[in-house]
Amino acid sequence: MEDAWDAARRAASAAGISLAPLTELEDARRVTVLVDAVWGEDQLSPSLVRAFQHAGGGIYGALGDGDLVGFVLGFLGWQEGLHLHSHMLAVVPEWQSRGVGYALKLAQRAACLDAGIDEVRWTYDPLVVRNGWFNLVKLGTVGTALLPGFYGEMTDSINRGDRSDRFEVRWSLRSQRTARALTGEAAPPSPGPVVLEARGGHEAPRPAPTRARPEPGCVVEVPADHPGLRARDEALGWAWREASAEAFGACFEAGLVAVWVTREGRYLFGRREELP
Ligand SMILES: CC(C)(COP(=O)(O)OP(=O)(O)OC[C@H]1O[C@@H](n2cnc3c(N)ncnc32)[C@H](O)[C@@H]1OP(=O)(O)O)[C@@H](O)C(=O)NCCC(=O)NCCS
């Protein structure tokens, strides 16, 4: 297996940035400015970032053209085993979609492995399918739970007006699944019955629950672009929030985990014990 830092540095160079631990007082301020640029409001206090810096290890930055253009921040937790909880990953809009976020996650992975931490967890909105693709397919995490309304009401520019349902994902850093994802060799399981179907055109698909029972391979369809759909039709966006929570909840209750999502928004579930 390629050394984790080599993989991170290779990804960084492909994205045109360099990676650095953020340890200075000035970095704490720069992180909070970047958070404001991405979420549109003050989400993180510099003193909390400073405390994370002092505790050590949990914050990496991406430097592009001399500026801080992205960062990843996490802290340790030990519920159900020692892990890093990755709280924030952000890249400034001008640098998004160039591989910076990916390089930052690889730096986080390498730093964890150095410290003897084998698992990283975080949460994301399962209706942001691009994040789902990134987390489940490109990085090789597994969706282990739906946390309805996880953050309560949110007022930032990305989440305002929607319920903060989140998937918990777990990234097993030494697993074969992760190794395959990082080398682009992962493949989806064969799809089974569809538990929730997206009916109608791409512009305004409607949620249609089926009578299918959750079982390994089952599929939950969601809109490819829920944030866009929600901006066009708030009621339809809400209908998807409710219908998806019910379908995802049923899959997790049946003991399944989310293992894949296509770019079109087809989530696939499987048995955790059967994962490589
Ligand atoms: C999500 C985010 C951190 C990804 O970083 P990035 O540098 O843009 O992503 P990369 O270029 O490394 O691409 C990795 C994957 O991220 C996803 N992605 C890319 N741009 C994205 C965007 N603007 N929004 C959401 N996901 C995006 C894609 O799945 C991409 O995979 P692909 O290239 O095969 O399509 C970044 O877009 C961002 O800061 N978004 C806003 C804040 C946010 O949603 N943070 C995550 C939750 S805390």
CATH number at residue 112: 3.40.630.30
Confirm or reject: Cβ of 85 under 6 Å from ligand 1: no
Q: Kindly state the average pLDDT of the residues 133-138.
A: 98
Of 117, 146, 179, which one is at a domain's C-terminal end? 117
HSE-up (13 A, CA, CB side) for residue 194: 12
229 lies in a domain? yes
pLDDT tens for each residue of 139-195? 999 999 999 999 988 777 777 778 999 999 999 999 999 999 999 999 998 999 999
pLDDT tens for each residue of 51-88? 999 998 789 999 999 899 999 999 999 999 999 999 99
Percent of the chain with pLDDT strictly greater than 90:
84
Q: Name the residue range of residue 88's domain.
A: 1-117
127 lies in a domain? no
Question: Beta strand pairing status for 194-199 and 166-172?
Answer: unpaired
Confirm or reject: Cβ of 99 under 6 Å from ligand 1: yes
Residue 130 Cα distances to 54, 93, 105, 124, angstroms:
33, 15, 15, 11
Question: What DSSP string runs through 125-164?
Answer: -TT-HHHHIIIIIII--EEEEEETTTT-S--STTTTTS--
6 lies in a domain? yes
102 and 210 part of one domain: no
51 lies in a domain? yes
3 and 99 part of one domain: yes
Alpha helices in 62-120 (DSSP H): 100-114
113 and 198 part of one domain: no
- Tell which atom from ligand 1 comes closest to the C-alpha of 131: 26
HSE-up (13 A, CA, CB side) for residue 3: 5
207 lies in a domain? yes
3 and 101 part of one domain: yes
18 and 105 part of one domain: yes
38 lies in a domain? yes
171 lies in a domain? no
89 SS3 class: strand
2 SS3 class: coil
16 lies in a domain? yes
Q: How many domains is the chain partitioned into structurally?
A: 2
Of 69, 88, 117, which one is at a domain's C-terminal end? 117
pLDDT score recorded for residue 156: 74
Tell the residue nearest (CA) to atom 5 of ligand 1. Answer: 101
Pick the residue with more confidence: 137 or 153? Answer: 137
Nearest-angstrom CA–CA distance, 276 and 272: 9
Best residue among 38, 96, 122, 147 to mutate for probing ligand 1's pocket (most ligand atoms within 8 Å of CB) is 96
Among 75-89, 143-157, 205-219, 255-269, the least confident range: 143-157
Of 92, 117, 142, which one is at a domain's C-terminal end? 117
183 SS3 class: coil
Q: How confident is the model at residue 256 (pLDDT cuts 50, 70, 90)?
A: very high
Nearest-angstrom CA–CA distance, 214 and 205: 22
Confirm or reject: Cβ of 92 under 6 Å from ligand 1: no
- Structure pTM? 0.94
pLDDT score recorded for residue 40: 79
- Tell which atom from ligand 1 comes closest to the C-alpha of 98: 11
